[in-house]
Amino acid sequence: MRKKSVRRKPLVRRGTKKKASFFSGKVLRFAVLAFFILLVLGMGYHYRNGLAYYFSFKSNKVLRQEAEDKRLSDVRNYQVLDNHEGKAIGLDVSEYQGKINWVDVDTLESKYPVHFVFIRATVGNDRLDKQFDQNWLGAKKNKLIRGAYHYYRPNENSLEQAELFIKTVTLRKGDLPPVLDIEKLPKNQSVERLKIGLKRWLKRVEEHYKVKPIIYTGESYYDDFLKEEFSDYLFWIANYNFYRENMEEDWLFWQFTEKASVSGVKGSVDVNIYNGDLQQLQFITIE
Catalytic positions: 183
Contact indicator for 237, 253 with CB cutoff of 8 Å: yes
Which amino acid, residue 128?
L
Quote the CA–CA distance of 222 and 233 in Å, as a whole number.
12
- Residue 274, number of CB atoms within 10 A of its CB: 24
Which of 125, 147, 130, 163 is CA-nearest to residue 234?
147
CA atoms within 13 Å, Cβ hemisphere of 265: 28
Which of 130, 108, 110, 112 is CA-nearest to residue 121?
130
Contact indicator for 238, 222 with CB cutoff of 8 Å: no
Find all residues with CB under 8 Å of 205, minimum gap 6, and list them: 162, 165, 166, 178, 180, 213
CA 151 to chain centre: 12
Q: What are the φ/ψ torsions at residue 122 (nearest 5 degrees)?
A: -140, 160
What stretch of H or E contains 91?
strand 89-93
Quote the CA–CA distance of 215 and 180 in Å, as a whole number.
5
